Amino acid sequence: MGLFRKKKKPQYVEEILEFGEAIDRRSEKRANKAKKNTKAKQAQKERQSQENNQGQEQKKSIAAEYCEQILAAAKNLDETKREYKVVTDYLTDIQTIEDLPEAELEKIQETAQNVLNLNEARDAYLNKSKTISDAQFAQMEQLEREMPEIIKRLQSNESYQTTVKRDMQYLEGEREEWRYYQDSLEQEEKVLRKLLYGLIGLFAVSVVAIVILGIVMKFDIKMPFVIASLVAGAAGAAMAWRLQNDGMEIRKAQANINRAIVLLNKVKFKYVNVTNAVDYACEKYHVKNAYELTYIWDQYLEAVKEREKYQRTNDDLDYFNDKLIRQLRRYRLYDAKIWIYQAKALLDKKEMVEVKHELLVRRQKLRGGIESQVEEVRAARTEIENMVKNRPEASKEIKAILDSLDEVCGLA
């Protein structure tokens, strides 16, 4: 029976199990701590390695940056050397020209003289002040065929305008003259009528006086009455005739005035038409009168001749430029073309001396620049060699760059 009894679990077993779990936890903690320490050490090593690599890369990048700067300086040095060679070649050309035989040099100078004269003629044309604007030139060029007829028509219209204006002024003067004559006749007519009325009154007074005197003095009044009647009649007849004549002259003056007004209206109509034509032409061609239009046309023709002359000058200049270049190329000059711009130096020894002096000064400055640039490159090269001397693993690429630099700069 005791064999099948349920046995009680001993207490120590649980303790052992709990202790075993604690041991496992402690072991796990120790393992985790060891892993963390290992990771920390690895991270520290990686940081150190990175710092070392960064230091090496920094050193390497500084050296590479120095090399880039030196390569840029080497490029400038190479350009300076090429410029130095060009200047030297120009000086050699001058020496070749100066050493030419007299007969050959004279042929070159003859061509150079033509080049110089044609250049001066062309410059004179280019520097010549314009007498007409570009817009006026373009307008004359567009109407080149019609312009002579246009000028002729404008001149004719202006002449007709002057004639019509003179006729109009004449008719206005004639009209005013007839009006003045008419006014004077009307004034005279008024005076004659007043005198006629006065004469009638005077005759009446005379008749009354004769009658009274005849009665008082008892004499015959027939003779005095006849005399008074004859005098009054003669004076009255003269006044009446003058009044009649003035009336006829007034009507004639009025007729002449009317005729002058009719003619003046016709002339004014013609004047307005021709004036409109003249004003339109002047406005269209931007002138004040036919004289100014003729002047612009003459200046246009002169400008066309000058332009044709300028074109011929250019053609001749191209010919002599090519001829001068061909003559100089026979002597295998470095740059024969440059002498078409320095033709004066081929003719004037003083000018040639100035050109040579300028080239010598330029070459001296270039030589000084080359020497200073070479010294700078050498100093920078030495600094880079010192920088990478203790790092062979980082200096292979730099040495390759320095070797190529020696080839470029000629420092090997």
Domain ranges of the chain: 2-44, 60-132+336-409, 134-286
What are the backbone dihedrals phi and psi of residue 140, each rounded to the nearest 5 degrees, phi first? -65, -40
Q: How far apart are CA 281 and CA 300, in angstroms?
A: 18
pLDDT in tens, 57-104: 544 455 566 666 677 777 787 888 888 899 999 999 999 988 889 898
**CATH placement of domain 134-286:** 1.10.287
Q: How far apart are CA 69 and CA 380, in angstroms?
A: 9
pLDDT in tens, 97-135: 888 898 988 999 999 999 999 998 888 888 887 888 888
On average, the pLDDT of the chain sits at 78
Q: Supply the pTM of this predicted model.
A: 0.56
pLDDT in tens, 214-239: 777 776 777 777 777 788 778 878 88
List the one residue out of 105, 347, 104 whose CA is nearest residue 355.
347
Q: What is the pLDDT of residue 388?
A: 64
> Where is average pLDDT lowest: 21-30, 98-107, 132-141, 367-376?
21-30
Q: How far apart are CA 23 and CA 2, in angstroms?
A: 37
Question: With 90 as the cut, is the pLDDT of residue 152 above it?
Answer: yes
List the one residue out of 106, 87, 107, 103 whose CA is nearest residue 95.
87
Q: How far apart are CA 357 and CA 336, in angstroms?
A: 19
Q: What is the pLDDT of residue 354?
A: 92
Q: Chain-centre distance of CA 95, in angstroms? A: 45
Burial of 184 (0-12, 13-18, 19+ CB in 10 A): middle
Q: Give the residue-averaged pLDDT of 4-26.
A: 37
Tokens of 83: 């410029």
Other CB atoms within 10 Å distance of the CB of residue 406: 14
Residue 338, CA atoms < 13 Å, CB-side half-sphere: 12
